Amino acid sequence: MIERQQIKPRMSRIVKHNGTIYLCGQVCADATQGITEQTQTMLDKVEELLLEAGSDKQHMLSATIYLKDMQDFQAMNAVWDAWVPEGYAPARACVTADMAREALLVEISVIAAQK
């Protein structure tokens, strides 16, 4: 059975299937901020969605991070490293990508297991 939560016209923010949770791409709360703040608020949104879906950071399986500029890699990683619990790092990829809006610096897509 497939369960969708927070359904929008183009996407569902959360999709659950066979004990796996898929989150749509998440961006920051305020695109006028720098990479550190954008990364932190983006990850805060991921954490809220995981909790709503019945999971948490310790159950992340995979994360794909999209950066507008790879020069932000170190600053983004500093926030990421502080956010991910030690010993629970998911499989991860980080790539450079064009963003949907010019001011966005980072986006993430997450797959997690249900608790």
pLDDT in tens, 79-92: 999 999 999 999 99
The model's pTM is 0.95
> Could you say which residues of the chain have pLDDT below 50?
none
Which pLDDT value is given to residue 68? 98
**Sheet with 2-7, side-by-side order of all strands:** 2-7, 12-17, 20-26, 106-113, 60-67, 91-96
Which pLDDT value is given to residue 46? 98
Q: 35 and 105 in contact (C-beta within 8 Å)?
A: yes
- What does the alpha-carbon distance between residue 98 and residue 68 come to, in Å, rounded to a whole number? 6
The second-level CATH assignment, the architecture, of 2-113 is 2-Layer Sandwich (3.30)
The pair of structure tokens assigned to 105 is 């610096």
Which pLDDT value is given to residue 73? 98
The pair of structure tokens assigned to 38 is 């954008």
- What does the alpha-carbon distance between residue 103 and residue 55 come to, in Å, rounded to a whole number? 30
The pLDDT mean for the chain works out to 97
Per the listing, tokens 């963003």 go with 99
Question: DSSP H helical segments within 1-115, as ranges?
Answer: 35-53, 73-83
The residues, ordered by sequence, that sit 6+ positions from 99 with a Cβ below 8 Å of its Cβ are 27, 66, 68, 105, 107
- Reported as half-sphere exposure (CB side, CA atoms, 13 A), residue 95 has a value of 7
